[in-house]
Amino acid sequence: MSKQKFKLSTIIIFFVCLVVLLSLLFTDLLISQTVSESIRSSQEEKAKIVSRTVAKSEIVRSGLEREDDSGAIQEYTVDIQQAADVLFVVVMDINGIRKSHPDPGEIGKHFIGGDEEVVLNGKENISISKGTLGQSLRAFTPIYNDEKEQVGAVVVGISLNNVEQALESGHKNILIGSSLGILVGIIGAVFLARYIKKVLFGLEPSAIAKIHEERNTMLQSVHEGIIAVDKNAIITLVNKSALRTFMNMGLQGNPVGRKLTDFLPFSKLERVIKTGRSEKDEEITVNGVTLLSNRAPLIVNQEIVGAISTFRDKTEVHQLAEQLTGVRLYAEALRAQSHEFMNRLHVILGMVKMGFYNELIDFINEIVDHRVNEVSYVTKNMKDPVLAGFIMGKLSTARENKVEMKIDNKTVIPKSSEDHVTHELITIIGNVVDNAIEAMSEMKEKKLLLKLNYNKNQLRIKVQDTGPGLKKEQFTHIFKKGYSTKGENRGYGLYLVSKSVEVLGGSIQLNLSVEKGTEFIIQIPYKGEQETND
């Protein structure tokens, strides 16, 4: 980067003064012309008014009709000349003979100038001509008697020297104003340069450019995606990592300058601009790509000027977490079944040792009948073996915790056409059921109802327990990450439920009309595989 030769203040002062000087120069030329035209026009109007006034005078009209009354005309015109401060007021008859003149010796002589022919023919006119009193601006007006017959004319002259003096005086005022404008411009340029220098923290443009390049390099080199918007939600900054992420999400083109809601409607940055509160570790899933996003308002001088979001692609981690969650739930279901099976083996072993063979037969028959009925009911209505096996495991978990769990499934639920939906369902059902079983640990009555209903590509899940229920102040917090009334390092189950429901595009609600316990109602889109009967 080349070194700057002049300081910013010097450049600002020079260019501001140059602009002011050129502006005032052109303004002076334009104003001078306008003022000149205005002064000349005002002088012409003045001469015309005086001539019309004299032409209407009864003294002048009667004096022209009576040729022996020229003395009255001369006296009247001299008074008018002095009062109006004009060069001359001359009255002539229809033949062009003067009846009045500032020089009495010129009375009775023919008017000089050659520009009187127009007025003697009955038309007003204005001209510049030279007469006995020198060069002058002249205004001619015809004079008519009561019978509307022209009996003469009056001419009023204004010295061109007076006109030029008026023009010079106006131009002088313009020059004085322009000079003052230049002086004010110079002073303003100095203060402007100092103000800009202060705003820029005393930095020169070269230093600002260097800092900008360094900051831009930093933003582009970080692994996290960065997107910033102004207070009108217009995108102002996007780094390379963000562009790569957007391409993976199927979003094409340069988003800078576009409306945020048009390019990235799910970012929720507009909410941050409105509330002024930061949001951390929020997960967003779009087109199969999961982002972990942090959002914060941009505040300058206690005013929100925009918002910024940093995010990373957490799809792989999210997928691993889903798998681990499913494995954990599978493992718990198998552990519960194994534990239940071991308990029953201990009972059988004890009855064999004590010789209670008849009772042993009844006990085994009861287990077999119960197990057959339970397995038959679940597998008959659930065509997905993974989901059916998981439900069986949850029944064992409930019995292990002395909870009477009932499955109400009146419709056949086909296997999902998408494998990931099954994993999400396991996360949803597993966490809600586990939460309900744990909530009833201290209750005398422990009943749990899991109701599933499939209709028109919609799966409705209802989980109702007889636990202690929820307080009203807990309704808005139970789905937040880390919120729990059971101690630290808890509060992730219902959070995962809400995220899985969100991924599937479903909805979740609490039924507040239940007299006791808690009832979750979850509805999600569910497209089953088409079964083929051979």
Q: Which CATH architecture has domain 222-310?
A: 2-Layer Sandwich (3.30)
Is pLDDT larger for residue 6 or for residue 15?
15
pLDDT for position 523: 92
What is the mean pLDDT of the segment spanning 231-259?
83
Position 46 scores a pLDDT of 86
Q: From 158, 150, 159, 157, select the one nearest 60 (Cα to Cα).
A: 150
Contact 182, 17 (CB under 8 A): yes
Nearest to 174 by CA among 41, 18, 38, 16: 38
Q: Which amino acid is at 474?
A: Q
Is residue 224 within 8 A of residue 312, CB to CB? The reply is yes
Mean pLDDT of 283-287: 74
Whether 12-166 shares its CATH topology with 222-310 is answered yes
Residue 469: which residues within 8 A CB-CB, separation 6 or more?
A: 514, 516, 517, 518
- Residue 512: its pLDDT value, please? 63
Provide, rounded to the nearest whole percent, the portion of the chain with pLDDT above 90. Answer: 2
More confident residue, 474 or 424: 424
Q: Are 359 and 351 in contact (CB under 8 A)?
A: yes
Q: Which of 175-184, 265-274, 518-527 has the lowest mean pLDDT?
A: 175-184
Averaged pLDDT of the chain: 77
> How far apart, in whole angstroms, are the C-alpha atoms of residue 164 and residue 48?
19
- Asked if residue 319 has pLDDT above 70, the reply is no
Instruction: Please report, as a single letter, which amino acid is at residue 179.
Output: S
Total-model pTM: 0.39
Strand 404-409 relative to strand 447-455, pairing = parallel
As a whole number, mean pLDDT of residues 463-479 equals 77
pLDDT tens digit string along 329-375? 555 555 655 665 666 666 667 767 777 666 766 666 565 545 545 66
CATH code of the domain occupying 318-525: 3.30.565.10
Query: Residue 93, CB half-sphere, CA atoms under 13 Å: how many?
Result: 16
Q: Report the candidate in 147, 136, 242, 193 with the shortest Cα–Cα distance to residue 14.
A: 193
**Residue 473: pLDDT band with limits 50, 70, 90:** low
Using CA atoms, how far apart are residues 51 and 142, in angstroms rounded to an integer?
9
- Whether 44 shows a pLDDT value over 70: the answer reads yes
In the structure, what pLDDT confidence band is assigned to residue 328 with cuts at 50, 70 and 90?
Answer: low
Residue pLDDT, tens place only, 208-219: 667 667 677 666
Q: What is the pLDDT of residue 154?
A: 92
Top pLDDT among 343 and 22 is at 22
What pLDDT score does 244 carry? 82
Residue 425 in this model has a pLDDT that exceeds 80: yes
When pLDDT is averaged across residues 240-248 and rounded to a whole number, the result is 81
Name the residue with higher pLDDT: 411 or 318.
Answer: 411
3-class DSSP state of 457: coil
Contact between 145 and 162 under an 8 Å Cβ cutoff? The reply is: no
pLDDT more than 70, % of the chain: 74
C-alpha 362/C-alpha 347 separation (Å) is 12
Residue 530 scores a pLDDT above 70: no
| Residue showing tokens 């807990």 | 474
- Residue 216 contacts residue 236 (beta carbons within 8 Å): no
Q: Is the pLDDT of residue 531 over 50?
A: no
pLDDT at 260 over 70: yes
CATH 3.30.450.20 fits 12-166, yes or no: yes
Neighbours of 63 (CB within 10 A): 26
Q: Where are the domains of the chain?
A: 12-166, 222-310, 318-525
Residue 165 in this model has a pLDDT that exceeds 60: yes
